Amino acid sequence: GSFKSHKTQTKEAQEAEAFALYHKALDLQKHDRFEESAKAYHELLEIRLLREAVLSGDEKEGLKHPGLMLKYSTYKNLAQLAAQRDDLETAMEFYLEAVMLDSTDVNLWYKIGRVAIKLIRLPLARHAFEEGLRCNPDHWPCLDNLITVLYTLSDYTTCLYFICKALEKDCLYSKGLVLKEKIFEEQPCLRKDSLRMFLKCDMSIHNVNVSAAETGRIIDEALELRKKRQALLVRDREPDLRLVQPIPFFTWKCLGEALLAMYHHLTTCDPPRPSLGKRIDLSEYRDPVQHLIVSPTSTPVSVIQPTPVSTSAVVTVADPVLSYTPATTNFPSHSQNVLEPGATVGDISAGDKSKKGVKRRRITEDSGETAKRRSARVRNTKCKKEEKVDFQELLVKFLPSRLRKLDPEEEEDPFNNYEVQSEIKEENFQHVGPHRMSFDSTTFMESEKQDVHEFLLDNLNNGGILELMMRYLKVISQKFLVKWPPGLSEVVLSIYNSWRKHSSSLPNPLLRDSSNQHIKDMMLMSLSCMELQLDQWLLTKGKSSTVAPRNCPAASVNGKFGPDFPGIHFLGDLLQLSFASSQRDLFEEGWMEFVTRVYWLKARFLALQGDMEQALENYDICTEMLQSATAMQAKADNECITIRLPNLHVDSVVSLEEIDKNLKSLERCQSLEEIQRLYEAGDYNAVVHLLHPTLCFNGFGRAKHLEFVTSIPERPAQLLLLQDSLLKLKDYKQCFECSEVALNEAIQQMMNMTAASAKEEWVATVTQLLTGIDGSLSSDSSILKDPSITPSLVRLTTNLIQIIDCSMAVQEEPKEPYVSSVLPWIILHRIIQHEEDAFRSLCQQQQQNQGEEASPDTPMLPSSLMLLNTAHEYLGRRSWCCNSDGALLKFYVQVLEKELAASTSEDTHPYKEELETALEQCFYCLYGFPSKKSKARYLEEHSVQQVDLTWEDALFMFEYFKPKTLPEFDSYKTSTVSADLANLLKKTATIVPRTDKPMLSLDTVSAYIEGTCSKV
């Protein structure tokens, strides 16, 4: 037969087999052989006919497919079998499978509803009975059960609707009559609301009485069902939460850290997460005996944990936040404290001997693979060599005699008193701001244990972590005018920022919708925390201030503090604080202090944002408040009132004098903005005209100049604007002179700064000034010919040597910023080379005048070249020789290229071999040529990061390394192209500029190879 008839037969055979198995299972069920019957039904479900039977999606079609009919009947029968053995869960599962195949069977829905009632799944029972009534509105069992379920679920309005339907059919329906009256009794308003609904019913429904026994039975049935459902809904009482990080000591910092850890745990743990309003059990802290280990002195020790942004340079002088990382870090540290004036070379090496073992271990760990590749013997020898180097002494020897200072102890002009002055300033301010450690703070630390314990006892009953955080902030802000232990400010600010996210708004001081005490506490708490937040922003601004020409106040503030600056709550909270400052009765005696602090905060925030006019207005309000308070107190000595905020690092004292200083700073910012505008408009002459007088070229008016200069935080920007304007004008001579004076000032400032953020700013300024000086000298070498600049050169060389000495003395992991640029070496070389050229031309002139011939003695290697060689040697030992993108070595290569090009024949150059060795060492460090395997023995491994080869640099490299004669098929091995050279040529070929590539056709090249053409 055909394929079609064969397929049809197969289908028929499948149907016959399936029906046979179904009847067998049905027969077993009739004879009460339930297990065998269930097994047969399950076998039937596995038959292909049933497995492949899928609903078409059109309900009107019904179950026409024999496979679907069998599947539906099988599920119903399996459900019935499960219900007979009281396995209600399984029965429900099979009933639901059946109803998904056909939802038009009212009896099936009724059975689902009855099983759901037994399982106390009342919402499912309600749905089943409602669906049953949709299939057949007259199905009384569904209606009867639905009324009971709706009453149990307390859906009285829907229940009354179906009671009405039932009473329309049977006005003597007792359950309907009983439950109707019961509902009206529980909710009397429904009697009137449902009056119109019952109008269609027989009037007798309002009078028929049901026997007490039947009434009790009906109500008890519904209430019993409700009770069972409520029993299922009762949750086991979960224990209260406990702190994930126990409180080790009774200090405010430890308590704050424990609360923060708990908050982070609750907001980041795996779901389901506990509610933030769930009580936290603090009962274990009732008895303070186990926490007696704490002592006032131990408090600061437990806080040496670095915090992300806001750690201040003042608190952590020993370990500044802003570490300045050099370009490459895999190198050992050699010299220590070479800069200390009294230290001698002997002292340094002796001091280091005791640490030698430790130092060696650290070098091996930190310097990574590069250190491992060297032998321990070589490395240690180098360390010893490096430790004994005094760069001041070493580099002075390279200088010509006229550039050496006669008296090494003599400090140069404007800054000889600078250190003394800054020390006096420090002493004067020991009692204010972050340095101040008042008597109160000692008391604070002594009473801390007791206060924290009291706080814990007062909060044994709490509303969860957020309430505990708020109460903590309220208590701690009462102590804001006392110096806190280190690290507490950061913890408090973190808690505030975490808590504030969950609080919609602060209590309104005008509406007085809370108690006066609560509003006062919340306002003081917000003020203290917002002062800490502003302090953090001001510190961040100080650290990240770029020392390029910039707008002082409003220079892309948002960029520095993140895209969300100042946050969604800060401005609104500031407005609430302003409202609160008008409510004198809230604060009583502390009102004047509160108002002054609020406007001090507003003024500084507006200044940070660049809104100078508004900032000035707010400073004026602060001034008025302090003046009126001073007048009211009418002190005999007329001493001004001062508010001290010892937990702030910036602007920690509010007084008339400090306000005056801030006003002057605002004016300077505005003047700097004006200069910035002139600079951006291209009026460089005006910029020079305004800034040139601020430089101190001689000793006249030195003290006044210093006092002015050192107090201006915008000074780095001024110096760089001046230098950049002169470079734009191409007035290189004046640029060199001004940059040298500016460099002298910047170096002194850099050396005397203790705050890491300010120091980094001056380090960047020094680096930029060096770039300008080098640019001026390379653009106009005739600058050095002017005899009037000799004093400047003497000072410049001394400063350059000092910079080199400082940078070479830093540790392998520097703890504070330092100048990592190689420009001091390059500028020093330019000056020394100029002196050599001048001396050489003078000698030649004398010889010509006297008619003498040149001396036949072999000349010495010039100091300028020896300096670059020394620079490469010492920087190489620390893997720094390719710093600044290889600037030093590229410069050295250019110098060597000129030197080698000066002699045409091979033998005339007196120190050709030394120059070639130095040149090959430069190439090896810069570009890794030749490879490590084939490099000559005299080349040292400096383990530096190589730089990219450019076309300009590649030309000389090619000229130097190419074979003297073009290699031929039978050439000697020495004149062939090595593998290294081949790689270099391939590398060079990839960077050839497109315009310089000759357009060669294949035919032209072939003709040249075959000899038919003599040119390519």
pLDDT tens for 226-284 read 888 888 877 777 788 899 999 998 999 999 999 999 999 999 998 888 888 989 999 88
* H runs (alpha helix) in 187-251: 189-193, 212-233
Domain end position, chosen among 218, 233, 248 = 233
Distance of CA 233 to the CA centre of its chain: 46
Separation CA 535–CA 310 (nearest Å) = 8
Gyration radius from the chain CA atoms = 45
Q: Domain range for residue 968?
A: 964-1015
Average pLDDT, the chain: 74
In the 8-state DSSP scheme, what is residue 494? H
Verify that 924 and 980 share a domain, yes or no: no
What pLDDT was estimated at residue 509?
92
How many domains does the chain divide into?
A: 5
* Structural domain contains residue 382: no
pLDDT band at 704 (very low <50, low <70, confident <90, very high): very low
Distance of CA 118 to the CA centre of its chain: 58
Please say if the pLDDT value at position 498 is more than 70.
yes
* Structural domain contains residue 850: no
CA angle 775, 781, 785 (to 5 degrees): 135
- Which residues are bridge partners to 33 per DSSP? none
End-to-end CA distance of the chain: 83
Separation CA 387–CA 60 (nearest Å) = 96
- Give the Å distances, CA to CA, from 993 to 424, 826, 885, 959: 61, 29, 21, 17
Verify that 49 and 195 share a domain, yes or no: yes
Domain end position, chosen among 233, 268, 291 = 233
Separation CA 831–CA 774 (nearest Å) = 10
Please say if the pLDDT value at position 984 is more than 60.
yes
CB 495 within 8 A of CB 259: yes
Q: What is the pLDDT of residues 478-494, one digit of tens each?
A: 999 999 999 999 999 99
Which tokens hold the place of 225? 């069902």
The 3-state DSSP class for residue 243 equals: coil
* Structural domain contains residue 916: yes
Mean pLDDT lowest among 32-46, 408-422, 687-701, 713-727: 408-422
Which tokens hold the place of 295? 């002592």
CB 496 within 8 A of CB 473: yes
* Structural domain contains residue 431: no
CA angle 153, 154, 157 (to 5 degrees): 120
What pLDDT was estimated at residue 852?
57
Distance of CA 652 to the CA centre of its chain: 27
What pLDDT was estimated at residue 559?
52
Separation CA 870–CA 825 (nearest Å) = 10
Verify that 47 and 65 share a domain, yes or no: yes
The values of phi and psi at residue 280, to 5°, are -105, 125
Verify that 22 and 120 share a domain, yes or no: yes
* H runs (alpha helix) in 486-548: 488-500, 516-544
Which tokens hold the place of 628? 């009126």
Separation CA 211–CA 220 (nearest Å) = 14
Verify that 119 and 30 share a domain, yes or no: yes
* Structural domain contains residue 98: yes
For residues 681-694, average pLDDT: 81
Q: Return the half-sphere exposure (C-beta side, CA atoms, 13 A cut-off) of residue 431.
A: 5
What pLDDT was estimated at residue 901?
75
Which tokens hold the place of 217? 């039975």
* Structural domain contains residue 959: no
Q: Highest mean pLDDT: which of 112-116, 711-715, 804-808, 912-916?
A: 112-116
Separation CA 493–CA 472 (nearest Å) = 12
Q: Tell me the DSSP string of 319-359.
A: S-S-----S---S-----STT-TT--HHHHHHHHHTTHHHH
CB 829 within 8 A of CB 867: yes
Verify that 456 and 594 share a domain, yes or no: yes
pTM: 0.46
Q: What is the pLDDT of residues 803-841, one digit of tens each?
A: 888 877 776 666 677 777 888 888 888 888 888 888 888
Verify that 458 and 493 share a domain, yes or no: yes
The residue behind tokens 């009132």 is 641
- Give the Å distances, CA to CA, from 157 to 162, 186, 222, 993: 9, 12, 16, 88
Nearby residues of 350 by Cβ (< 8 Å), 6 or more positions away = none
Q: Return the half-sphere exposure (C-beta side, CA atoms, 13 A cut-off) of residue 124.
A: 16
pLDDT band at 416 (very low <50, low <70, confident <90, very high): very low
Verify that 939 and 988 share a domain, yes or no: no
CB 477 within 8 A of CB 292: no
Domain end position, chosen among 674, 704, 720 = 674
Verify that 690 and 592 share a domain, yes or no: no
The values of phi and psi at residue 54, to 5°, are -125, 145
- Which residues are bridge partners to 241 per DSSP? 280
* Structural domain contains residue 361: no
Q: What is the pLDDT of residues 59-94, one digit of tens each?
A: 555 555 666 777 788 888 888 888 888 888 888 988
Q: Tell me the DSSP string of 420-462.
A: HHHHHHHHHTTTSGGG---HHHHHHHHHHHHHHHHHHHHTSS-
Please say if the pLDDT value at position 555 is more than 70.
no
Verify that 665 and 732 share a domain, yes or no: no
Among the listed residues 818, 837, 722, 877, the one whose alpha carbon sits nearest the alpha carbon of residue 383: 877
Cβ count near 669 (within 10 Å): 22
Which tokens hold the place of 189? 């308003």
CATH number at residue 102: 1.25.40.10
Among the listed residues 499, 487, 524, the one whose alpha carbon sits nearest the alpha carbon of residue 259: 499
Which tokens hold the place of 561? 């503090």
Among the listed residues 233, 237, 255, the one whose alpha carbon sits nearest the alpha carbon of residue 246: 255
Verify that 691 and 653 share a domain, yes or no: no
Mean pLDDT lowest among 189-203, 208-222, 312-326, 621-635: 312-326
* Structural domain contains residue 29: yes
Verify that 27 and 118 share a domain, yes or no: yes
The values of phi and psi at residue 257, to 5°, are -65, -35
